[in-house]
Structure 1
């Protein structure tokens, strides 16, 4: 019997090949989108879950509760924290300190010397790191982390430095200061991790390479240095956090109330944006929702077309029932037809997902792999998706068709009672276009917000500024570098500093103005020389630029700080004394700057101090009048002359700023892609319904033309039925779209307004696409010779 059902299903699909083709394409596209989204969500949800101790591993983070009521969330910690926690709390089994650092690594091998600038793949850490996180040891052990000048590398970095030879015992040189002996090699890390380090230098070496760091200072919290702990049991977490207030009071004294330590689950590190996470949980939820919506739209198409065809097949069903076929058998006959079509769509969807996976991987900076045969989870998802689509898309039409009265079906009387089915189809069309409208409107808003962020006036100049690293801050080298670079005709200005304006910075602390007590707010500090203002085009609203100095003597503040201090005007701040807490020095205010963004545009403008401190300088900003390949090479030659043991690397300031908004670029690409998919699916279903509706009204069209109706009039008549549904969808979806747009914008300190034009644009696009879809078939029908239309049975 199954064989005969299968044969019948194939014949039926071949007979109605246009509708079958539309359903096949729609299901394939919807399922392909769902498969890709599943792989994306699966990747993010599996990040760092493979570690054996993941359920009891935490990052120690601190919330700084300031006196002005604000709270600053900091993922970094003081150097002394990890050792102290392990000593004082019995339930802390392991405590690892991870310090990220940029170093130049020199490798001498086989008579050749090569240098590598290692930025994102190098950390200093201790023995406990390899107890907390799982690494497969190829050779050596984690005990090497307790001894100075030892380093562990991954297999790929062992090959990078020493080829196919044995790396154990080989020596590499860090920043031309310390020789490091390779004491271990570990297997390469898996794809699903945020710990993408390949060089692990023993923690005691950090003090030799960075001796100026405040190793015993509890207040020296640096976002690039983190503490991870493993507790003996996950149940110990509440007890640990309950003791943190007393712990903070013990080591911070009166300031203990400011430092609120708590444990962040390892599973939360990837998702918590406040502490430097990569992506929000809400984004995964939205992705999953969009994937479900794509499937629903595809299924709605199937239901619409299937119910539309139901009455064309009513006589067939009636004959089968008269011949003794039961209602259940009719039901499963049509389910089998749906299953056959869905199986073909599943195969095509896997092929589509596999073809587009490399492009998506490049877009999203995530390795999206689609290989159901080697991925059991994907295979299980595809199987579940197949069953879901078959039952959702085929269940309702099969139920409706199987309930046909055989007598009425054979006599063709069922056509008189089809109003309810029309209302269902209309409801599904409205739902489809409501979803599409919301996605179009939200993607439009995201694009506009992204453009706003890129083009917003940041209060300074970002064009034609080249950034260089400063491996050393020795006065003679900085002076020589300035003199030689300034002599180049393309160079108009040059500044040394720790970080550029509007590049994320966490440096800062409390301040004392004149003889007043410590202020209740935090002021951000920027170490920069006297050329900082002119290089970046910052605007002075009062006073002058500080005189040259190697240390804090004279300083600049911004207008935000003037207001925070309660001063009536920028001029009132001039020649007043200000003690900078994080620098531990007092200087004289000689100038006030117009406000500029201290960090990214997720946060507002903050009180800011700019002062000289040569020991903190890490970068140089070179202002250019023009740029070409020869300019870069000449600058590189001058830089290399001063720092011959280091690797020359440069970046343009505007490109650095653009990287801050990669999240918005990702959101733009995702929403735009899936909005287009949803529109395509909705229009595909509308196209099929238009074909069916016009087929049903062929004689009517012929009569109207005989009576003098124009092609334009008939086209308008046929199109208006569908246009009304799209307009209803826009009305229903507009409040929903506004809600999601409003929620998304709350993450930004600077944001565009939700303008009515966005809804007009989205509505115009939805209506326009729908009209194009329907009008094609309408015009085609209107142009048919009425004689042929009237003869048609």
Structure 2
């Protein structure tokens, strides 16, 4: 019986190969999209879940509850925190400190030394870090990180620094300050981790390399320095957090109410963007939803075309029933056809996924694994996907066809119009295009918002500004470096600073204005020299630029700070004293700047103070008049002359700002990609239905042409019904699209407005694509010789 069913299935697929091809292509593309999304979602959800203590591992974060009612969320912590927690709380099993730092490493002597600048791959930590996180040791053990001047490397960095030789006992120099002995080797870390470090330096060495850091200062909280703990049991978390208010009061005194410490689950670190997460949970949910929608669209296509084909096979079904086959046997015959097509489509989807994932990784900058993991989750997902598609795509068409009355079927059910069936078919087309319209509209808004973020006036000049790193503890050579670079004909200005005007890393704290108490609002600090204003095109609206100084004497403030101080005008702030809390120094306000965005555009403009402090300068900003092939090389030559033991590193400021919105670019690319897939699948189904509809009306078209109908008139007639469905979908989907567009834009302090023309553009795209899809066959049918049309049955 099954063998006979299989022969019938193959025969029907070959006979109706156009419809079978459309159905299989739709299912294959839909399932490929679902598989890729499954891989991407699974990759992110599995980040750092492989650590054996993951369920009781936490990052210690702090929410700063300020007097003005605002709350600042900080993932970093004071150095002294990790030691204190382990001493005072018995249920803290391990406490690790991880300090990220851009460092220069060198091997060899003088001119023969090999130098490496590590921007993100190096960190200082203690032995507890490797008790919390599962890094595999090739040689050595965690205890080496409790001794000074020790370093541990991953295998790939051993190859990078030492080639194939054994590095144990050899030395590397860090920042031209300390010689570090290689005391251990680690296996390379897996891709599914946020702890992508290849160089771990022992924690006592931190004080040698960065001596100015406030190691005993509880208020010195830095986002690049994090504390992680494992508790003896996950149930201890509530007890820990209950004791945090008393803990804060003990170490912060009267300011204890400001510091609200709590534990962030390790599983939340990757997703919580408030604490520096990489991707939002909402993005993961959106991707999973899109994967389901792609499958639904593909299945709706299958249902529409299968039920449409059912009319053409009505006589076959009627004859089978007259010959004694039961309704259930007809049902299983069509289910088997669906299963065969689905399995073939699934195999094609695996090939498509294997081809598409590397291309998508390169395009989107993602790291989706090409090979499907071999654990139980993947086979279960594949089995559920197949069963879901077979059930959704196959059950209704099989019930529909098996329900034909034998007598009516033999008489020619295919020539009759069943209004109930056409209502269901039209409803599915409307649903498909509703989904496509929402994704198109959302793509348009995300693309527009991304462009707005890149092009919005930040109150600064970011064009042709080159950023060059400045080595730590090399202040004596900075003046010479600035003077020599300034002499280059293509250089307009040079400024030294800690961070540029708009930056995702910032510093700040409280301030005292004149003899007033500490202000309730926080102030951002920009540590920079007197050329900062000219280099970045900042606008002075009152007063003057500070005089050149290597320490705090005169300061600049922005208009927002003047307003928050309650002063009537910028002139009222001039020549007044300002105590800057984060460095404990007082300066005289010499000028007031027009407001500029000193973070990304997720946040509003903040009160800001700009002051000189040479020992904290880390970057040179070089404003260029023009850029040619020799510019970078000329600057590099001057820089290397002053800092021969360090690595020259540069970047352009406008590119740094563009990277602020990497998440938006990823969201834009993903949404556009899946919007295209949804539209393609919808049009694939529309194409098949148009072919079927036109085949049913071939003789009608011939008669109309004989009676004088024009090609345009026939094309309009054949296309009108389908385009009306698309227009209905646009009307129904517009409120849904508006809701999701508003939800997505809600995270931005600066956002575009949702104008009516966005819906018009999305609607035009939908209608235009549908019109092209339907019109192709409509025009072909309209151009057919009417004699041939009238001969066709």
Q: CA deviation at 1:26?
A: 0.8
In the alignment, what sits opposite 2:767? Answer: 767
In the alignment, what sits opposite 1:210? Answer: 210
**SS across alignment from 1:623:** strand
In the alignment, what sits opposite 1:78? Answer: 78
CA contact (8 A) 2:445 2:741 kept: yes
1:748 correspondence with 2:748: yes
Matches within 5 A, 1:358-377: 358-372=358-372, 374=374, 377=377
CA contact (8 A) 2:39 2:372 kept: no
In the alignment, what sits opposite 1:672? Answer: 672
Q: CA deviation at 1:412?
A: 2.3
Structure 1 range deviating more: 381-390 or 421-430: 381-390
Distance 1:472 1:367 in 2: 34
1:602 correspondence with 2:602: yes
Q: CA deviation at 1:790?
A: 1.7
In the alignment, what sits opposite 1:546? Answer: 546
Distance 1:584 1:40 in 2: 48
In the alignment, what sits opposite 2:271? Answer: 271
In the alignment, what sits opposite 2:463? Answer: 463
CA contact (8 A) 1:694 1:778 kept: yes
1:113 correspondence with 2:113: yes
Distance 2:365 2:701 in 1: 54
Q: CA deviation at 1:372?
A: 4.2
CA contact (8 A) 1:44 1:192 kept: yes
TM-score for the superposition, normalised by structure 2: 0.99
Q: CA deviation at 1:368?
A: 1.9
Distance 1:165 1:752 in 2: 57
CA contact (8 A) 1:604 1:749 kept: yes
Given the superposition, is the C-alpha separation of residues 110 and 308 from structure 1 closer, same or farther in structure 2, using an over 3 Å criterion? Answer: farther
**SS across alignment from 1:169:** coil
Given the superposition, is the C-alpha separation of residues 302 and 236 from structure 1 closer, same or farther in structure 2, using an over 3 Å criterion? Answer: same
In the alignment, what sits opposite 1:653? Answer: 653
Distance 2:747 2:332 in 1: 50
Q: CA deviation at 1:788?
A: 1.8
Matches within 5 A, 1:641-790: 641-790=641-790
Matches within 5 A, 1:172-571: 172-372=172-372, 374=374, 377-413=377-413, 416=416, 418-571=418-571
CA contact (8 A) 2:723 2:770 kept: yes
1:658-686 CA distances to partner (integer Å, 9 max, x unpaired)?
Answer: 11111111011101100111111000100
Distance 1:783 1:274 in 2: 61
Q: CA deviation at 1:312?
A: 1.0
Distance 1:349 1:208 in 2: 56
Two-structure CA RMSD over aligned residues (Å)? 1.3
Given the superposition, is the C-alpha separation of residues 475 and 647 from structure 1 closer, same or farther in structure 2, using an over 3 Å criterion? Answer: closer
Distance 2:143 2:461 in 1: 50
Provide structure 2 residue ranges, at least 5 long, that are not aligned to the other structure. Answer: none
In the alignment, what sits opposite 1:30? Answer: 30
Distance 2:617 2:372 in 1: 52
1:26-69 CA distances to partner (integer Å, 9 max, x unpaired)?
Answer: 11111111111010001000000000000000000000000000
Provide structure 1 residue ranges, at least 5 long, that are not aligned to the other structure. Answer: none
Q: CA deviation at 1:364?
A: 2.8
Structure 1 range deviating more: 486-495 or 473-482: 473-482
1:10 correspondence with 2:10: yes
1:246-269 CA distances to partner (integer Å, 9 max, x unpaired)?
Answer: 100010011000000000000000
In the alignment, what sits opposite 1:19? Answer: 19
Distance 2:759 2:782 in 1: 33
Q: CA deviation at 1:711?
A: 1.1
Distance 2:552 2:371 in 1: 59
1:524-560 CA distances to partner (integer Å, 9 max, x unpaired)?
Answer: 0111000000000000000000001111110000000
In the alignment, what sits opposite 2:582? Answer: 582
Q: CA deviation at 1:119?
A: 1.2
Distance 1:364 1:625 in 2: 33
Matches within 5 A, 1:35-50: 35-50=35-50
**SS across alignment from 1:216:** coil
**SS across alignment from 1:243:** helix
Count of aligned pairs: 793
Q: CA deviation at 1:406?
A: 1.5
Distance 1:750 1:413 in 2: 60
Q: CA deviation at 1:723?
A: 0.8
Q: CA deviation at 1:414?
A: 7.0
Q: CA deviation at 1:604?
A: 0.9
Given the superposition, is the C-alpha separation of residues 355 and 413 from structure 1 closer, same or farther in structure 2, using an over 3 Å criterion? Answer: closer
Q: CA deviation at 1:474?
A: 4.1
CA contact (8 A) 1:373 1:379 kept: no
Given the superposition, is the C-alpha separation of residues 244 and 728 from structure 1 closer, same or farther in structure 2, using an over 3 Å criterion? Answer: same
In the alignment, what sits opposite 1:124? Answer: 124
Given the superposition, is the C-alpha separation of residues 626 and 747 from structure 1 closer, same or farther in structure 2, using an over 3 Å criterion? Answer: same
CA contact (8 A) 1:109 1:162 kept: no
Q: CA deviation at 1:377?
A: 3.4
**SS across alignment from 1:661:** helix
CA contact (8 A) 1:511 1:578 kept: yes
Q: CA deviation at 1:318?
A: 1.3
Distance 1:26 1:377 in 2: 25
Structure 1 range deviating more: 756-765 or 415-424: 415-424
Structure 1 range deviating more: 621-630 or 739-748: 621-630
1:340-398 CA distances to partner (integer Å, 9 max, x unpaired)?
Answer: 11111111111111111111112232222333485653343222211211111111100
CA contact (8 A) 1:556 1:589 kept: yes
**SS across alignment from 1:412:** helix
CA contact (8 A) 2:436 2:682 kept: yes
Distance 1:199 1:584 in 2: 34
Structure 1 range deviating more: 263-272 or 312-321: 312-321
CA contact (8 A) 1:440 1:672 kept: yes
CA contact (8 A) 1:350 1:370 kept: no
Distance 1:548 1:567 in 2: 27
Distance 1:373 1:5 in 2: 35
CA contact (8 A) 1:372 1:379 kept: no
Q: CA deviation at 1:703?
A: 1.6
In the alignment, what sits opposite 2:67? Answer: 67
**SS across alignment from 2:658:** helix
In the alignment, what sits opposite 2:159? Answer: 159
Distance 1:209 1:686 in 2: 66
Given the superposition, is the C-alpha separation of residues 111 and 516 from structure 1 closer, same or farther in structure 2, using an over 3 Å criterion? Answer: closer
Distance 1:392 1:603 in 2: 45
1:99-132 CA distances to partner (integer Å, 9 max, x unpaired)?
Answer: 0111110123999521100110000001100100
Distance 1:187 1:395 in 2: 51
Distance 2:449 2:28 in 1: 33
In the alignment, what sits opposite 2:87? Answer: 87
TM-score for the superposition, normalised by structure 1: 0.99
Q: CA deviation at 1:163?
A: 1.0
1:702-744 CA distances to partner (integer Å, 9 max, x unpaired)?
Answer: 2212222111111111111001100000000000000000000
In the alignment, what sits opposite 2:150? Answer: 150
CA contact (8 A) 2:475 2:615 kept: no
